Copies of this chain bind each other. A is one copy, B any other.
Amino acid sequence: MNISTTERARVLVQALPYIQRYAGKTIVVKYGGNAMLDDELKSAVMSDIVLMSIVGINVVLVHGGGPEINAMLKKTGKESRFVNGLRYTDEETMDIVQMVLCGKVNKDLVQLLEMHGGRAMGLCGLDGGMLRAQKLSGPDDIGLVGEISSVNPQPIGDVIGKGYIPVIATVAGGENGETYNVNADIAAARIAAEMHATKLVLMTDIRGLLRDKNDENSLISVVNASEVPKLRRDGIISGGMIPKMDCCVDAVQRGVNRAHIIDGRIPHSILIEAFTDEGIGTMIY
């Protein structure tokens, strides 16, 4: 599409009220799924993050890395033990999780942001004692899978204060020097709460919450946190959407203004969400 320079200028000016609304505010983005695997989408996400950062928004980028972990586990020939369908994370597995998340995925994102003109610093939950975890309680012992016991937002604030985009791998430290893998969606929600973020954005591979899961046109754009239990009873929130929704509700209840489930498969979905009237995906408030 060929857009004239005047049209371009108009588009910029139309973004102005959104920029003003969020300048100086914190937005936590959980980055994952297809948008992290497809190179073009990845580049679009990086541009979006850098743009938001340049116009004065404090973006915190929290990422997962499941596929890369699986690839590495396979490469090392590590055979996984499963407990009731869940993979048991022994120390050796945890080492690989940490290496891949903190050493590869995290630093690659840092490098990409820098190449897009941003200034980024890659942290994990161990840096500055940011994320503390304990063994996930549950019926089965699945090893070094943790649940967050506390979040120390200071290292994130310090890094932002020096003008960097913090990129965060969700590996957390335990009481006795062990490390835990913690769920990145939950970590993002907790970090958003501790950073008094105005917005939590979860990037997914779906359009958002659909009234009819087979009909992409049945998108529910706005959900009040109080409606969630009913939507769940009605089966509209189901399957993989349940933990995503729980994260969003948790963040909102801890003081985050708005949580969003957006479709990472759409190029520039973060920017569309933040900087246009139409928005995108499902918003929980």
Contact = CB atoms under 8 A, between A and B. Distances in A.
B267 A111 contact: no
A128 B99 CA distance: 20
A275 B3 CA distance: 14
Contacts of A13: 44, 47-48, 51, 268, 271
Contacts of A101: 103
A268 B3 CA distance: 14
A255 interface: no
Interface in A113-135: 114-117, 119-124, 126-129
Given A102-B107, A111-B173, A268 B10 contact: yes
A54 to B, nearest CB: 5
B107 A6 contact: no
Contacts of A75: 76-77
A272 B9 contact: yes
Contacts of A163: 158
- Report the contact-size class of chain A (Cβ under 8 Å from the partner): 35 or more
Contact of A126 (B102, B107, B271): B107
A104 interface: yes
B128 A121 contact: yes
A1 B5 contact: no
A15 interface: yes
Given A13-B47, A127-B121, A55 B173 contact: no
Interface of A: 1, 3-17, 19-20, 23, 44, 47-48, 50-51, 54-56, 72, 75-77, 95, 98-104, 106-107, 110-112, 114-117, 119-124, 126-129, 155, 158-159, 161-164, 171, 173, 177, 179, 266-268, 271-272, 275-276, 278, 280
- What 6 pairs across the A-B complex have the smallest Cβ distances? A103-B103, A9-B268, A99-B103, A102-B103, A99-B99, A158-B162
Given A11-B12, A75-B77, A99-B103, 7 more contacts: A1-B7, A10-B267, A16-B51, A16-B54, A54-B55, A119-B129, A120-B127
30 contacts: A1-B4, A3-B3, A6-B266, A6-B272, A8-B11, A8-B272, A8-B276, A9-B44, A9-B267, A9-B271, A11-B12, A12-B15, A12-B268, A13-B44, A13-B47, A98-B107, A99-B99, A99-B104, A101-B103, A103-B106, A107-B124, A107-B126, A107-B171, A110-B127, A111-B173, A114-B126, A114-B128, A115-B177, A120-B127, A122-B127
